[in-house]
Amino acid sequence: MSPTVWLLVSFAGMFCLLSSPAGFADAAEGAKVKLLASIAAGEALGSFNHPSGLFYDEIKKRLYVADSVNKRIVSLDSGFKYLAELIKKEIILPVGIVRDKKGFFYVVDADRSEVFRLDAAKELVEPLLLTGVPHGRYLFSPGRIAIDKEDRLYIIDKLNKSVVSVDYTGVFIRSFTITSTDFFGFTDVRVDDEGYVYALDTIGRMVYVFDKKGDLVSSFGGREKGLFLFPVSIASGKNGLVYVIDRHAGKIMVFNRSGVFQYTISKKGAKEGEMVAPSYIYIDESNSIYIIDGYRIQVFKEEKE
């Protein structure tokens, strides 16, 4: 295994560790990361119990968390203060959440294996009925979910090893998949403002990048290359970079769209600013980075020199 170079960066009275595989030290220099918040528990919030997905609403300036085992959706304000929680009998195990510009939530329920459309104002919950989706070998089984700036949804179909894109009513647009024998199925998906779709195969340790037509434009990683140990979540930044959470390494690995390594963020550890068991990453319009790390959510701000 290649040795690792650790860079200690000091700013604003605090320190942050940035790690870089040997040979990439120059790329890592100059990266600055500030810990904005570490959210775990509070008198009003209580404690998270296996949070699995989150979404930052740029219109409302609120953070929504799918707090899975607590069977609730939690909302926090832009300062990460607890606002409210939503519990509905129809939603048993929420693992993913997005919100469209009309104010509707789309929640993936792992227990029911369905996507629900939620009108919080009217307290209405209904299944999102998918229409026109090509029949696969297995029944549709939703995994993680993403949404683009046109309110198109991108839902992982776990058993059929694809990403299905539908409009906000559930009407099929297109699908994204890989036919290689080295492909094991998608575990996470994101889409950027240009329409590029980023999909992650955890077992295959691969990142796939598709254009808006569904064509594969690049891929990087692979089990034989040893780039990742156990990649579990992916995000695209407004800076055009791709961020991959490596759970076993306890860090964020950053690449350009072509898969050229840039630098890594954080290290494995239990202290604030470190990561014990990161499982989910989300990046908002201001390039703040949200990480679900076990029972806590950490928020970082990356600053470039």
Question: Would residue 61 count as lying in a domain?
Answer: yes
Question: Would residue 16 count as lying in a domain?
Answer: no
Question: Would residue 256 count as lying in a domain?
Answer: yes
Task: Give the pLDDT confidence score for residue 225 in this predicted structure.
Answer: 83
Question: Would residue 198 count as lying in a domain?
Answer: yes
| 19 and 267 Cβ atoms separated by less than 8 Å | yes
In order along its 305 residues, the chain shows pLDDT tens digits of: 333 323 222 223 233 333 333 333 333 433 578 999 999 999 999 999 999 999 999 999 999 999 999 999 999 999 999 999 999 999 999 999 999 999 999 999 999 999 999 998 888 999 999 999 998 899 999 999 999 999 999 999 999 999 999 999 999 999 999 998 899 999 999 999 999 999 999 999 999 999 989 999 999 999 888 899 999 999 999 889 999 999 999 999 999 988 999 999 998 999 989 999 999 999 999 999 999 999 999 999 987 65
Task: Give the pLDDT confidence score for residue 304 in this predicted structure.
Answer: 64
Question: Would residue 35 count as lying in a domain?
Answer: no
Token representation of residue 14:
């605090």
Token representation of residue 261:
């390594």
* 3-state SS track over the chain: CCCEEEEEEEECCEEEEEEEECCCHHHHCCEEEEEEEEECEECCCEECCCEEEEEEECCCCEEEEEECCCCEEEEECCCCCEEEEECCCCCCCEEEEEECCCCCEEEEECCCCEEEEEECCCCEEEECCCECCCCCCCCCCEEEEEECCCCCEEEEECCCCEEEEECCCCEEEEEEECCCCCCCCCCEEEECCCCCEEEEECCCCEEEEECCCCCEEEEEECCCCCCCCCEEEEEECCCCEEEEEECCCCEEEEEECCCCEEEEEECECCCCCCECCEEEEEECCCCEEEEEECCEEEEEEEEEC
Task: Give the pLDDT confidence score for residue 305 in this predicted structure.
Answer: 56
Q: Which residues constitute the domain of residue 136?
A: 40-304
Question: Would residue 1 count as lying in a domain?
Answer: no
Q: Is 92 left (phi over 0), alpha (psi -120 to 50) or beta?
A: alpha
The CATH number assigned to the domain holding 174 equals 2.120.10.30
Question: Would residue 143 count as lying in a domain?
Answer: yes
- Residue 30 makes CB contacts below 8 A (sequence gap 6+) with 304, 305
Task: Give the separation between CA 247 and CA 102, rounded to whole angstroms.
Answer: 34
Task: Give the pLDDT confidence score for residue 31 in this predicted structure.
Answer: 59
- Report the amino acid identity of residue 107: V
Question: Would residue 176 count as lying in a domain?
Answer: yes
Could you give the number of structural domains in the chain?
A: 1
Residue 20 has φ and ψ, to the nearest 5°, of -145, 130
